[in-house]
A = this chain, B = another copy of it.
């Protein structure tokens, strides 16, 4: 992984692969049967384009037609080297580091897509739908399966989970995804969100973090700023 500047993973990334339903308490709040999650074999995989990234100072903008925009705080994995059909027991070698990410979701549009059997691309992949924080080196988070992950809206705690509760682990996800889709240096995997997702409105400030390693803050644009 030498020679790459992973501080700039947002510029390096060729894709964002995301995982749905990876925390049992969030699965419950979304009304899914817990049993479907317990079948530890097939994670739910979707994508956001890299045009969805925003970084500190940029604002989250509602996509056209969305009336119900949700925050989902997630631990993001930053891939360190090309990963294709990687065995689970070697997968951690492909991790350059991590980031705090928000998987912003047009929940109303996603629910409609689910009902109609249609793709999640627009509800999940619209511009500004992936606010991310700075790069966290792998050696700063030695155990990615034992860290607090939290999200506040206007100072009020909404999500307070721990990565201990992930159903599919970091190496399992890398191994599983890389069976289908080759991952490249800088690519980001969003590992799913714990319970507590909720709607935000124009002017809200979302703060989120992973333990005491990294904290991010993003504002939701006001209607008159929505350009």
Contact = CB atoms under 8 A, between A and B. Distances in A.
Copies per complex of this chain: 2
A126 interface: yes
Contacts of A158: none
B119 A120 contact: yes
Interface stretch (A44-52, A148-156, A160-168, A190-198): A44-52
Interface string A100-142: 0000000000000111011111101111000000000000000
A72 to B, nearest CB: 15
A76 interface: no
A64 interface: yes
A64 B175 CA distance: 13
A64 B14 contact: no
A182 B118 CA distance: 21
Contacts of A44: 118-119
Contact of A47 (B47, B118, B179): B47
B20 A119 contact: yes
B127 A49 contact: no
A37 to B, nearest CB: 13
A15 interface: yes
Contacts of A184: 51
A38 interface: no
B119 A15 contact: no
Contacts of A17: 49, 121
A125 B49 contact: no
A64 B119 contact: no
10 contacts: A20-B119, A47-B119, A114-B117, A115-B117, A117-B117, A119-B120, A119-B121, A122-B181, A126-B180, A127-B181
